[in-house]
C-alpha cells in the first residue's frame, strides 16, 4: 500500500495539486499500487493526475513502453475510462488521516 496526499476543495472536489494557500484541506489516502488501472488493467504502480486508480501511463496517453497513443487508441481508452467504475478513487476510500 502507498500513501498519497490530496487536497479537498470547499465544494467537495479533490485535487492532487497542493493548494493549502487557496484554502484547500490536505488529507492522506492509502491505495494499493498493485490494483488494476481502470483503463488498461495493469497494476497502477503509482497515483497520477487521474487519481489512484489510473496509472501514470494511461494518464499521459502512453503505452508502458513509452509509445504515445494514436488517435484511435486515445478514443478507445477514453471510452473505457468513461465506462469503467471508479473502484478506488479518493471519494470511495476511507480517509487514512486528516492533517
The SS3 call for residue 79 is helix
Site size toward Zn ion (CB under 5 A) is 5
In the complex, least distance from residue 20 CB atom to Zn ion, rounded to whole angstroms: 29
Closer to Zn ion by Cβ: residue 20 or 34: 34
Interior angle at CA 30, CA 23 and CA 84, nearest 5: 95
- The pattern of x and - marking residues 25 through 54 that bind Zn ion according to CB under 5 A reads ------------x-xx--------------
Q: Alpha-carbon distance 32 to 25, whole Å?
A: 23
Closer to Zn ion by Cβ: residue 29 or 55: 55
Residue of 8, 51, 58, 88 that binds Zn ion (CB under 5 A): 58
The length of the chain in residues reads 99
Closest CA to 42 of 56, 26, 21, 24: 56
In the complex, the residues that contact Zn ion under the rule CB under 5 A are: 37, 39-40, 55, 58
Amino acid at each position: 500500500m502507498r500513501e498519497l496526499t490530496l487536497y479537498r476543495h470547499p465544494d467537495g472536489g479533490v485535487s492532487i495539486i497542493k493548494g493549502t494557500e487557496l484554502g484547500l484541506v490536505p488529507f492522506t489516502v492509502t491505495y494499493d499500487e498493485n490494483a488494476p488501472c481502470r483503463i488498461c488493467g495493469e497494476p497502477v504502480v503509482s497515483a497520477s493526475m487521474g487519481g489512484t486508480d489510473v496509472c501514470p501511463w494511461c494518464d499521459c496517453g502512453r503505452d508502458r513502453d513509452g509509445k504515445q497513443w494514436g488517435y484511435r487508441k486515445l478514443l478507445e481508452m477514453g471510452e473505457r475510462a468513461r465506462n469503467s467504475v471508479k473502484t478506488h478513487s479518493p471519494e470511495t476510500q476511507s480517509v487514512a488521516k486528516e492533517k
